[in-house]
Amino acid sequence: MGITRRQFLAAASASAVALAAANAVHAGADETIRVGLIGCGGRGTGAAQNVLEAGGEVELVALADLFPERIESCLGYLRDPKNGLDGVKVDPDRCFSGFDAYERLLALGEVDLVLLATPPGFRPAHFEAAVAAGKHVFMEKPVAVDPVGVRRVIAAGEQAALKGLRVVAGTQRRHQEDYLQTIARIHDGGVGEILAGRCSWNTGGLWSYDRQEGQSDAEWQVRNWLYFDWLSGDHIVEQHVHNLDVMNWVLRAHPLRATAVGGRTQRVAAKYGNIYDHFAVDYEYPGGIRVVSMCRQITGCADAVGESVVGTLGRANPAGSIEGLTSWRYSGNATNPYVQEHRDLLAAIREGRPLNEARTVAEATLTAILGREAAYTGATITWQEILASKLDLSPHVREFGPLAMRSIPVPGRER
């Protein structure tokens, strides 16, 4: 029949993935899905609340965090009657703290789904471990802070597909109806051929954590994680990844290369670690499409958060409107995307339907890392170069103790 060995193996691999998804064990409509939370800070607590609000038979049965007081505060919030949450079934023997807390939680056979919400530097290891343990996964964005971590997430995502596990990421716009309908119209030619785009996340400063007397370097950095590249990836990765994911989604591609600028102008004190407070990136996508990306965390400046694209027949705001030869505006009901992403995940688990967002969120994360590294170095960097890079920011911390802060990047110097 003229089929080559390469074609045969590719077809066999695709069939194996489809068969694994079809045959995966899944919960029925009336079966309880038991959830474990790894990372009990603000976003983790919010994710636990969202999955309980998503409906159906769902129970939160286990918590893990590096710090025991985070577990206590998380439980206090979730059990507060004014929040009206049912399904919090966490016993003391299912609360784990310390560096191995995630491993002990994942060893619980009764946990079906895990929420990964620690600082992003830990995400690749936690995602790998969750997939190896056979758990369905919700993981917050971003999913890595360096190219080595991105490749680990992509590989683990492929293993999740083979095992028939469902994976959803915290890029909630992909579950937001105004974005879904608008981008579907863009893909159907609503603005014609796309020529250019723009996205931004320009806001004021965020929280910071002052170092306490007697605290080790490692503990302070983890508690103040936003401001260290090995933990957050810098704010272009930790926050602006949302907008960059939308641009990849709209353009159905990742960028080919990036040139960027960035620096520190307001956040220069030691408590702000080694990250920048502003970036501007020129991304080039296939077909010569250019996307201008800006992000800033500087108090007292103009805010701007969103995305736009311009085509031969008009322009669009992916959050709900198209202007041009045929104008349109989303008029449906608003839904909470932070809850909807969990509804979609739970439905896929119950129905045995494939759902795996690991690669899309990994590529969005790498898009942000590409822009960051272009700014940090002052070089124009290609997608293939960043994807193959050996850059690994993690010091693989497993205990609190001395930990030197990485230097603040200076463009024009080797990194």
Kindly report, residue by residue over 204-219, the tens digit of the pLDDT: 999 999 999 999 999 9
- 106 and 142: one domain? yes
AA letter at 85:
L
* Domain contains 73: yes
Segment 33-56 shows an average pLDDT of: 97
Do residues 96 and 223 share a domain? no
Q: Which residues contact 203 (CB under 8 A, 6 or more apart)?
A: 296, 297, 303, 305
Order of strands, sheet of 167-169, starting from the edge strand that comes earlier in the sequence? 95-97, 58-65, 33-38, 113-116, 136-139, 167-169
28 in the same domain as 64:
yes
40 contact partners, CB below 8 Å, separation of at least 6: 63, 64, 65, 70, 71, 73, 74, 117
Give the β-pairing of 328-329 and 381-382. unpaired
Query: The domain that contains 299 carries what CATH number?
Result: 3.30.360.10
Q: What is the DSSP letter of 334?
A: -
CA-to-CA distance for 154 and 318, rounded, in angstroms?
26
d(CA 384, CA 366): 11
Asked if 325 and 104 count as a contact pair (C-beta separation under 8 A), the reply is no
The pLDDT assigned to 397 comes to 87
Euclidean distance between the first and the last CA atom of the chain, given in angstroms as a whole number:
52
Q: Give per-residue pLDDT as tens, 248-271.
A: 999 999 999 999 999 999 999 999
Cα-Cα-Cα-Cα dihedral sign, residues 166, 169, 174, 176? positive
Residue 395 confidence (pLDDT): 80
| Residues 9 and 67 placed together within one structural domain of the fold | yes
In this prediction, residues 334-345 reach a mean pLDDT of 96
What pLDDT score was predicted for residue 408? 96
Most confident of 20-34, 114-128, 323-337, 385-399: 114-128
User: What confidence tens digit (pLDDT) does each residue in 63-76 have?
Assistant: 999 999 999 999 99
Provide the domain limits for residue 82: 5-173+341-357
The CATH code of the domain that includes 93 is 3.40.50.720
| Domains in the chain, number | 2
Ramachandran class of 2: left when φ > 0, alpha when ψ lies in -120 to 50, beta otherwise: left
User: Closest Cα partner for 135 from 116, 155, 151, 154?
Assistant: 116
Residue 18 predicted with pLDDT over 60: no
Is residue 398 one of the residues assigned to a domain?
A: no
Q: Is the pLDDT of residue 119 over 60?
A: yes
Same domain, 129 and 222: no
Q: Is residue 23 part of a domain?
A: yes
| Residue 230, pLDDT above cutoff 90 | yes
Q: Is residue 415 part of a domain?
A: no
- Is the same domain home to 245 and 384? yes
CA distance 161 to 21: 7
DSSP string, 73-112: HHHHHHH-GGG----B---GGGEEESTTHHHHHHT-TT--
Residue 402, in any domain of the structure: no
Q: Is residue 124 part of a domain?
A: yes
Q: Are strands 194-203 and 304-311 parallel, antiparallel or unpaired?
A: antiparallel
User: Of 247, 240, 284, nearest to 380 (Cα)?
Assistant: 284
Rounded CA-CA distance 113/165 in Å is 10
Per-residue confidence (pLDDT) for residue 19, from 0 to 100: 45
What's the chain's average pLDDT? 93
Contact 338, 46 (CB under 8 A): yes
Q: Are residues 228 and 376 in the same domain?
A: yes
DSSP structural state of residue 224: T
| Interval 222-246 mean pLDDT | 98
Residues 284, 382: Cα–Cα separation, whole Å? 9
Q: Are residues 103 and 198 in the same domain?
A: no
207 and 229 in a single domain? The answer is yes
* pLDDT for residue 6 is more than 70: no
* pLDDT for the residue numbered 280: 98
Which distant-in-sequence residues (6+ apart) come within 8 Å of 228 by Cβ?
221, 273, 274, 275, 405, 406
**Is the pLDDT at 108 greater than 60, yes or no?**
yes
Looking at residue 245, its amino acid is D
The rounded radius of gyration (Å) of the Cα atoms in the chain is 22
Name the more confident of 263 and 10. 263
d(C-alpha 132, C-alpha 297), whole Å: 37
- Please give the structure tokens belonging to residue 372: 């960051």
**With pLDDT > 90 as the criterion, what percentage of the chain qualifies?**
89
Residues 73-87 pLDDT 10s: 999 999 999 999 999
Residue 285 pLDDT: 98
Whether 373 and 261 map to the same domain: the answer is yes
Cis status, amide bond into 142, omega within 30 of 0: yes
Q: Indicate the SS3 state at residue 259.
A: strand
DSSP-derived letter for residue 343 is H
**Residue 55 confidence (pLDDT) above 50:** yes
Amino acid at 374: A
Is the pLDDT assigned to residue 3 strictly greater than 90?
Answer: no
Count Cβ atoms within 10 A of the Cβ of residue 211 and give its class: 0-12 exposed, 13-18 middle, 19 or more buried: middle
The answer to whether residue 157 sits within a structural domain is: yes
The percentage of residues in the chain with a pLDDT greater than 70, rounded to a whole number, is 92
Asked whether 230 and 362 are in contact (CB, 8 A), the reply is no
- For residues 122 and 217, state if they share a domain: no
Residues 243 and 382 in one domain: yes
CA–CA distance, 376 with 282 (Å, rounded to integer): 14
pLDDT at 12 over 60: no
Identify the helix (H) or strand (E) that includes residue 53: helix 42-53
Tell which wins on pLDDT, 155 or 11: 155
Count of C-beta atoms within a 10 Å radius of residue 323: 13
> 183 in a domain, yes or no?
no
